[in-house]
Amino acid sequence: MKEVYLHIGEEVMVRASNIIAILDRRLLKTDWQSSLPTVAAQSIRNISKHDVKSVVITEEIIYLSPLASTTLKKRMDASLEELFLKI
């Protein structure tokens, strides 16, 4: 089966099967990073050149994305729909 990738902003692509969650940044407490275990906090990658709009949690890395969670959901839905239409 073909792999599906999601463009999460700033030229970063993530394998869809590795995504655990996509969270809206506005819904998180302002100090959410300090509540993470040390190992998780060390794996945060801010790919946003401006405002962070969503947090993409994968198996290995937590990405701070400039794209809204709704935009990422639409992209994921479109990618999955395209994949299933080809099967």
pLDDT tens by residue, 16-72: 999 999 999 888 777 777 777 777 778 999 999 999 999 999 999 999 999 999 999
Q: Do residues 60 and 47 make contact, with C-beta atoms less than 8 angstroms apart?
A: no
Q: How far is CA 42 from CA 10, 51, 52, 75, in A?
A: 20, 20, 18, 28
Tokens of 58: 């994968």
Report the predicted TM-score, pTM, of the whole model to 2 decimal places: 0.84
Between CA 35 and CA 55 the distance in angstroms is 15
**pLDDT score at 5:** 93
